[in-house]
C-alpha cells in the first residue's frame, strides 16, 4: 500500500507537470531555440534519477522508504517530462510537409519500438550477471540511465529549430489553453489517439494472461509472443508511411484499425489451447499496433497549423503537454478498470482460473478493444484535415508571413 501511495503522489504531480513544461517551452527564447535547451540540460537529470530509482537505500523503515521513493519518483518524472514534452513539441518543426511528417514519425517510432524490444530483454539480462540482485539492479539502472541520456545529447546536436517560430511572443497561459480547447481538429485526433492506444494498453496488459490461462503456454513463451507483436509492428511501419502518401492519413488509420478490430474479435473466438493460431494472430495484431504508433502522431502536427491560423502563434509545447497528460490519464484509468474487472470476475493470481475469469480475460482481449477501435474509426471518419486543406492552411500562413 505504501508503494502504491508513492506512485499516487508521483501521478498527482504528473497531472500538473506535462502542461506546465509545455507552456514553459513555448515561452522559452534562447540562441539554441525553445525546445533544445530542455533536451540538453534535462538529459543528465533524466538518466541520473532513473539510476537512483534502482538503488536500494540502507534503511528499512517503511514510511521513510515511501517518502524516499515518492520524492525520487517526482524527480524522475519531472526530468522525464522536461525532456519528453519539448522532444515531442520539436517534431512538428522538423518538417512542415504533410507526408514527410508521416515518414519522420515512422522513423521515430521504429527507434521507439526497437528500444521497447531491447528494453524487454536487456534489463533482466544485466541483473542476472550479478549474484547480488541489489547490485544487479543498481548496475542495470546505471547502464540504462546512460543509454537513455546519450540519444538526448545526439538529438540536441543534430536537430535544428526554426528561428522564425520563436520570433513572436507567446500568448498568456490561459489564452493559450483557450485556443487548445477551441481547436476541434485536436479533439478528433486526441479521441482516435486515446481509443487506439487504450487497445494497445489492453493488449500489453492482458495478452499475457490470455496466453497463459486460455492458450496454455508458459509465461516465458507468452513474453516471446508479446515480443512478436512488437517485432511485427516494426515490420509494418513502412507500410503506413507509403499508404498515407497514397490516401489521406485518416483513411490509412481507418484501414489499419479496421483490420486490427477484426483480429481482436478472432482472438475472442479461437478455441482453448490453439497455440499456432495465437502466434499468427499476435503477428497480425502488430499491424494495428503499428497504426496506433504512427498515424495519430503524424496527424497531431497538422492540427498545430489550425491553431497557428487562429492564434498567430506556434504552440507546440502546450499541445504536446496536453496530449501526453491525457494519454497518461487514460492509460492509468484503463489499467485500473481492467484490474477491478478481473477481480470482480474471480481472477486467481498464479492459480487455476474459474470459468468466469477466463471469460472475462477473453472479453477484455477481444470485444473490448474491438469496440474501442470501432469508436476510433468513427471519429477518424470526421477528422477534417486533408492533404489539400493542410496545403491551403500552409499557403495562408505563408501569405501572412
Q: Evaluate if residue 2 carries a pLDDT over 60.
A: no
Would you state the pLDDT for residue 294?
92
Helix axes 62-94, 316-344, angle to 10 degrees: 130
Q: Evaluate if residue 1 carries a pLDDT over 70.
A: no
Same fold, 1-161 and 173-382+392-401: yes
Would you state the pLDDT for residue 183?
92
Would you state the pLDDT for residue 329?
80
pLDDT band at 376 (very low <50, low <70, confident <90, very high): very high
Would you state the pLDDT for residue 212?
93
Rounded to an integer, what distance in angstroms lies between the CA atom of residue 318 and that of residue 305?
14
Q: Evaluate if residue 121 carries a pLDDT over 90.
A: no
The residues, any chain, with a CB within 8 Å of residue 143's CB and separated by 6 or more, are: 126
Query: Is CATH 1.20.200.10 what the domain over 173-382+392-401 is classified as, yes or no?
Result: no
Task: Express as a percent the part of the chain with pLDDT over 70.
Answer: 97
Would you state the pLDDT for residue 333?
79
pLDDT tens per residue, range 276-335: 999 999 999 999 999 999 999 999 999 999 999 998 888 899 998 888 888 888 887 788
Class of the CATH-defined domain 1-161: mainly alpha
Would you state the pLDDT for residue 117?
85
Q: Evaluate if residue 92 carries a pLDDT over 70.
A: yes
- Comparing C-alpha atoms, which of 69, 57, 109 is closest to residue 88? 109
For the question of whether the overall pTM of this predicted structure is more than 0.75, the answer is yes
Q: How many CB atoms neighbour CB 389 within 10 A?
A: 16
Would you state the pLDDT for residue 5?
61
pLDDT band at 6 (very low <50, low <70, confident <90, very high): low
| Residue-range domain boundaries for the chain | 1-161, 173-382+392-401
**Cβ contact 189:271 at 8 Å:** no
Q: If you compute the radius of gyration of the chain from its CA atoms, what whole number of angstroms results?
A: 22
Out of 45-49, 65-69, 180-184, 311-315, least confident range: 65-69
Amino acid at each position: 500500500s505504501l508503494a502504491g501511495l508513492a506512485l499516487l503522489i508521483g501521478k498527482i504531480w504528473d497531472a500538473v507537470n506535462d502542461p506546465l513544461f509545455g507552456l514553459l517551452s513555448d515561452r522559452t527564447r534562447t540562441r539554441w531555440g525553445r525546445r533544445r535547451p530542455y533536451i540538453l540540460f534535462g538529459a543528465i537529470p533524466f538518466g541520473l534519477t532513473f539510476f537512483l530509482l534502482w538503488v536500494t537505500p540502507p534503511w528499512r523503515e517503511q514510511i521513510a522508504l515511501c517518502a524516499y521513493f515518492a520524492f525520487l519518483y517526482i524527480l524522475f518524472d519531472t526530468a522525464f517530462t522536461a525532456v519528453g514534452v519539448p522532444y515531442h513539441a520539436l517534431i512538428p518543426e522538423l518538417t512542415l510537409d504533410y507526408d514527410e511528417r508521416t515518414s519522420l514519425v515512422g522513423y521515430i517510432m521504429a527507434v521507439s519500438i526497437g528500444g521497447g524490444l531491447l528494453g524487454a530483454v536487456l534489463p533482466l539480462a544485466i541483473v542476472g550477471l550479478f549474484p547480488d540482485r541489489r547490485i544487479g539492479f543498481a548496475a542495470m539502472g546505471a547502464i540504462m540511465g546512460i543509454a537513455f541520456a546519450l540519444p538526448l545529447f545526439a538529438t540536441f546536436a543534430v536537430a535544428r529549430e526554426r528561428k522564425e517560430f520563436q520570433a513572436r511572443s507567446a500568448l498568456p497561459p490561459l489564452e493559450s489553453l483557450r485556443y487548445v480547447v477551441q481547436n476541434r481538429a485536436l479533439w478528433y485526433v486526441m479521441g482516435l489517439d486515446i481509443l487506439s492506444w487504450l487497445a494497445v494498453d489492453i493488449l500489453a496488459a492482458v495478452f499475457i494472461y490470455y496466453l497463459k490461462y486460455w492458450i496454455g503456454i508458459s509465461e516465458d513463451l507468452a513474453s516471446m509472443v508479446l515480443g512478436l507483436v512488437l517485432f511485427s509492428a516494426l515490420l509494418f511501419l513502412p507500410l503506413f508511411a507509403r499508404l498515407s502518401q497514397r490516401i489521406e492519413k485518416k483513411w490509412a488509420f481507418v484501414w489499419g484499425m479496421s483490420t486490427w478490430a477484426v483480429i481482436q474479435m478472432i482472438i475472442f473466438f479461437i478455441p482453448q489451447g490453439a497455440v499456432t493460431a495465437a502466434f499468427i494472430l499476435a503477428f497480425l495484431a502488430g499491424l494495428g499496433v503499428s497504426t496506433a504508433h504512427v498515424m495519430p502522431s503524424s496527424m497531431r502536427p497538422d492540427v498545430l497549423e489550425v491553431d497557428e491560423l487562429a492564434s498567430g502563434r506556434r504552440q507546440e509545447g502546450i499541445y504536446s503537454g496536453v496530449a501526453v497528460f491525457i494519454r497518461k490519464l487514460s492509460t492509468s484509468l484503463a489499467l485500473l478498470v481492467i484490474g477491478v474487472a478481473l477481480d470482480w470476475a474471480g481472477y486467481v493470481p498464479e492459480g487455476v482460473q474459474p470459468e468466469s475469469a477466463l471469460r472475462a480475460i477473453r472479453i477484455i482481449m477481444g470485444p473490448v478493444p474491438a469496440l474501442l477501435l470501432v469508436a476510433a474509426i468513427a471519429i477518424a471518419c470526421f477528422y477534417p484535415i486533408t492533404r489539400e486543406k493542410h496545403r491551403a492552411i500552409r499557403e495562408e500562413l505563408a501569405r501572412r508571413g
